[in-house]
Amino acid sequence: MKILVTGAAGFIGFHTARALLERGDRVVGLDNLNDYYDVSLKQARLAELEGRNGFKFVRADLADRAAIEELFAHEKFGRVIHLAAQAGVRYSIENPRAYVDSNLAGFVNILEGCRHTGVEHLVYASSSSVYGANTALPFSVHHNVDHPLSLYAATKKSNELMAHTYAHLYRLPVTGLRFFTVYGPWGRPDMALFLFTSKILAGEPIDVFNNGEHARDFTYIDDIVEGVVRSLDHIAAPSKEWDAGRPDPGTSDAPYRLYNIGNNNPVQLMDFIAAIETALGKKAQKNFLPLQPGDVPATYADIDALVGDIGYRPETELEDGIAKFISWYREYYGK
């Protein structure tokens, strides 16, 4: 099967492309290699993929309508995994237009490419950020998510609405995946595990927001990838339970599905930091700060829909995942 993976030089895209290649699929990886974070890390991920049989890299921007149209017309993809996006809750507060270009205009280009070339299934990345001001835990795909707290979250909710429209109008099977705080080897330098590890090793203080009272459903990268690939293989279909008189956000009469992919086990931020300290054998200097704009105090994934439909449950223990990340980090940076 020929599969398009957007964001192939990114953290999740790289791991997903590698998993697909290992099972024998052909993968076209798309990325624009922007400088949101260290481009050399993205290039190193690509170097791991480019020597593999069945991989082809295309450098293009999602917002470039002509380039995306040409890509879909030329390659004739069977299925698409759309992971490219402008990421980051905090970055969206200062740089909103980057999110409109990539996450909104770019997503329309992907939807149109799928529609006009007969793609049989589109799987795309949403985010736990869509739950916004919700406080009912665990977060469920059946909950209303109309109160985002950042533009990043609003664009991800918009993606879900756009995807549903295409599923309804054009019967394009689409599955949205709400990822919960992904971590692991080859991770993003702007995320907590990477930041904390680099600063602790350098003897610098770490910023601990919300005075350490956060809780996050940290999810190891291998578990995320397994969920993505299994979702790709389980083509979305209309729900038999759909009731237009009592519409449920998690179901539809269109070939549209939403799943949370999280570890289903929220961890307190201070316990997360303690696990990093144990793995490094070094204590952190902590700079306690208030809650940042756009942040939520806790995330916790209800994964019943994922387990029921896909038959998969994330299973990596936090300590094991952190140890694997730190082993990669020391090898990659020689520390």
Angle, helices 269-280 vs 318-333, to 10°: value is: 50
Tokens coding 301: 């994934």
Please say if 152 is a catalytic residue: yes
Question: How many whole angstroms separate alpha carbon 19 and alpha carbon 328?
Answer: 18
Question: How far is it, in rounded angstroms, from Cα 146 to Cα 196?
Answer: 32
Pair 95, 22: CB distance under 8 Å = no
- 3-class secondary structure, 138: coil
Q: Residue 210 burial (CB < 10 Å; 0-12/13-18/19+)?
A: middle
Contact 334, 248 (CB under 8 A): no
Cα–Cα distance for residue pair 217/299, rounded to 1 Å = 6
Q: Which 3-state string (H, E, C) describes 170-219?
A: HCCCEEEEEECCEECCCCCCCCHHHHHHHHHHHCCCEEEHHHHCCEECCE
What is the per-residue DSSP string for 252-311? Answer: -SSSEEEEEES-S--EEHHHHHHHHHHHHT-PPPEEE-PPPTT--SB--B--HHHHHHH-
Catalytic residue among 124, 152, 259, 312: 152
Query: 137-162 b/e with 16+ CB inside 10 Å = b?
Result: ebbbbebebeebbbbbbbbbbbbbeb
Active site residues per annotation: 152
